[in-house]
Amino acid sequence: MTNPFSLEGRHALVTGANTGIGQAIAVGLAAAGAQVICASRRASDESVAQITDAGGRATSVLVDFSDPMAGQDLFAGKNIDILVNNAGIIRRNDSVDFTENDWDAVMDVNLKALFFTTQAFAKDALSRGTRGAVVNIASLLSFQGGIRVPSYTASKHGVAGLTKILANEWAAKGINVNAVAPGYIATNNTQALRDDPDRNAAILDRIPAGRWGDAADIAGAAVYLCTPAAQYVHGAVLNVDGGWLAR
């Protein structure tokens, strides 16, 4: 019997795979059998080493997604059939003081680069007539407003919307498009929050699971959405938040 959770023979590209959630997803995809390309603006040597040391297959490529069109040449000739859009940035300031530069920087990476990278992936996959899977990394702020992160909130609302429109257009053509919305995950990006006793306590008090999430928690959900087991899942935004949004 074929294992519906296996990714043997599949080729995946993960953006922002050098650390944190992206690294965990790359490792998870490889553990499920996929050959993985780690695409990041910083070297992904650690991610590649984790995968190859465990007997998996991985390579890396340097790509700076602050150029929204940087992903245009990533797919030709590589037979990539899984794309995970994880690369993202955040800028914080009061909305009355937020600058145009900070707005544009976040929107370029989190939304514009995501769309045009996914477009390039789909063009290649559709031209080859192969099945494909796209997983976008959304956020709790795809549903909530947050504080002092206007461009990040706007971009992550946009990620949820793009996930749905691309699913509408490509579901019948063999490409699944879905998203994972992480809750509060213990990564470098949240170190300052975890180091603040008051913020840390307030966050933990809101999470029914009673703990910060691990990057591996996000990886499991993302890997599932790439497998044949999820072939009838289209346009979903899967919350992996310890129950945060249920409160």
Which CATH architecture group holds 11-238? 3-Layer(aba) Sandwich (3.40)
Domain spans of the chain, in order of start: 11-238
Distances in Å between the Cα of 192 and the Cα atoms of 86, 144, 181, 187 are 21, 21, 21, 10
Catalytic residue among 152, 184, 224, 232: 152
Active site residue 184: no
Per the DSSP assignment, residues forming a β-bridge with 176 are 133
pLDDT at 202: 95
| CA separation for the pair 55, 48 (Å, rounded) | 11
What is residue 14's DSSP assignment?
A: E
| CA separation for the pair 128, 120 (Å, rounded) | 13
Tokens coding 95: 């909305």
Say how many C-beta atoms besides its own lie within 10 A of residue 201's C-beta.
10
- What's the whole-model pTM score? 0.97
Q: What is the pLDDT along the chain (247 residues), one digit of tens a residue?
A: 789 999 999 999 999 999 999 999 999 999 999 999 999 999 999 999 999 999 999 999 999 999 999 999 999 999 999 999 999 999 999 999 999 999 999 999 999 999 999 999 999 999 999 999 999 999 999 999 999 999 999 999 999 999 999 999 999 999 999 999 999 999 988 888 899 999 999 999 999 999 999 999 999 999 999 999 999 999 999 999 999 999 9
